[in-house]
Structure 1
Amino acid sequence: MNSELQKRTFTSIVLIFLLTLMYLYSFIMITALIVIAIIIWVEFYALISKIIKKNKFKDKFLRFFYKAISLLYLSLIVFLIFTIESFYPNQKIYLLYVILVAILSDIGGLIIGKTFKGKKLTKISPNKTISGSVGSFLFSIILIPFFYKNLIEFNFLIMFIITLTISFISQAGDLFISYMKRKAKVKDTSDMLPGHGGFLDRVDGIIFAIPIGLILFNFF
């Protein structure tokens, strides 16, 4: 096992342990969410600063705009999760499902994409392929049998559509951050997570999937 893989494995174990504690203990969840949201915001703003380097008034305004919008968006996600944890515990199952769909979409895209390769999905991210995108959708629907009826009482077709939509949004979020990194000419948003890059690199799809997924579950 090379050093890079060792770092990645160790970091993954630590993150899984943290996620478990966050799910079991509310105070750990809220504290961790606030800290992670701040880190993500700093990483995103660093990307913006590398993309918009000029000091003209227009550029300063754009940096401030992206700074404000990203801070507001991340604050809303933290507030949304805090509200669910404190006042709507029945919604936690939906939150868990959305996060798992985003994670499996990422894993599916990586495994299937590297196995079958093939035509590139977009110029935004050269490493992403059409086969990888299909793999993301396929891996996401694996969750349905485990949650259908037993945990989430939805019509099977509706749950299938919601799952694919969440996977699509997660992939779109991943592509958006990949585009930002490409514009900033960086591989990772930071080196905070050994072997993984930054926090934003790991949760890019999740932060876009959470609000959309929760809206879909409550709408239907």
Structure 2
Amino acid sequence: MKERLVTSVILITLLLVVGLIDNVYLTGLLIAVIAIAGMYEAKRLFGVEEERVFYFLSFMAVLGIFVNPILIAVAGILSVGGYIAFYQKDINPISIALYPFLSLMILFSLYLQTSMGMIGWLILVIASTDSFAYLIGKNFKGHFFKEGFSPTSPNKSWEGVIGGVASGTILGAIVGLAFFNFFEAFIIALSISIASVFGDLFESYLKRRAGVKDSGNILPGHGGVLDRIDGYLFGAPVLWAIILSIGH
């Protein structure tokens, strides 16, 4: 418990410092480091043994600090696809180019196109969804629904999911008034919240498929990097796509 608390304090402090400094290169560096660590963990979950793909995408993640991250994401994915086809490799290596590399490049692009405040709002929506889902699920699991939310994650209840999404949406709609009108903020927060639930579920599926409890052990008391960012890997692309669509 003490180990988990210390790790949480360090992570929160790091995020606050980066958020307050609000420097493009520092933020890009943080996202690149997260991408590299996440891809390293994803290699194990997907069963990827091709080291060259990992090193190439790691280089691309760093390059994304200086070059349009969406361009980097597209170039990275297509290059890996071409490499697989040219050398008749197993298709598996492209998995880490899609998850988490693509989502994290989209997250950085979202920051570049909007503001650190928007990233903070994204964190608020997803963190509140996750926190309230845990609290409500723990106290009301099985009260209204006999079956769990999904066989992929037996401990996740419908009560927790609904409560988490409702809480994340309401808080997001209120705080989101800084960026959108209430209707837009409500719909976007709802979309992000739902996406984050399935991001968490997808990570659970990968771990169950790989037969592991955590994606890694780099964060004492918390498991791996992917265990902490799974909701954002689905939520960030949704927010990015919506903002792109409405031209905000």
TM-score (norm 2): 0.74
Do structure 1's residue 152 and structure 2's residue 179 form an aligned pair? yes
Q: How do 1:43-62 residues align onto structure 2 when only pairs under 5 Å count? A: 43-49=41-47, 61-62=90-91
Q: How do 1:1-220 residues align onto structure 2 when only pairs under 5 Å count? A: 5-25=1-21, 26=23, 27-49=25-47, 61-70=90-99, 72-74=101-103, 76-77=105-106, 79-81=108-110, 84=112, 88=113, 90-118=114-142, 119-140=147-168, 141-148=170-177, 151-154=178-181, 156-220=182-246
In structure 1, distance between residues paired with 2:160 and 2:116? 29
Letter in 1 for 2:17: L
Q: Is the 8 A contact 1:162 1:217 kept in 2?
A: no
Q: Could you report, residue by residue, the CA deviation over 1:62-120 in whole angstroms, capped at 9, with x for unpaired residues?
A: 322213333651463365156x1xxx4x4433322122211111111111111111131
Would you say how many aligned residue pairs link Structure 1 and Structure 2?
Answer: 201
Q: 1:94 to 1:187 in 2, by over 3 A?
A: same
Letter in 2 for 1:144: A
Which runs of 5 or more residues in structure 2 are unaligned?
A: 49-87
In structure 2, distance between residues paired with 1:165 and 1:71? 20
In structure 2, distance between residues paired with 1:16 and 1:128? 25
Aligned to 1:62, what secondary structure does the other structure show?
Answer: coil
Letter in 2 for 1:36: I
**Higher normalized contact order (CA 8 Å, seq sep 6+, divided by chain length):** 1
Which runs of 5 or more residues in structure 1 are unaligned?
A: 51-58
**Post-superposition offset of 1:153:** 3.2
In structure 2, distance between residues paired with 1:200 and 1:106? 14
TM-score (norm 1): 0.83
Q: 1:138 to 1:78 in 2, by over 3 A?
A: closer
Q: Could you report, residue by residue, the CA deviation over 1:120-164 in whole angstroms, capped at 9, with x for unpaired residues?
A: 10100011000110121122122322332xx1232x223211111
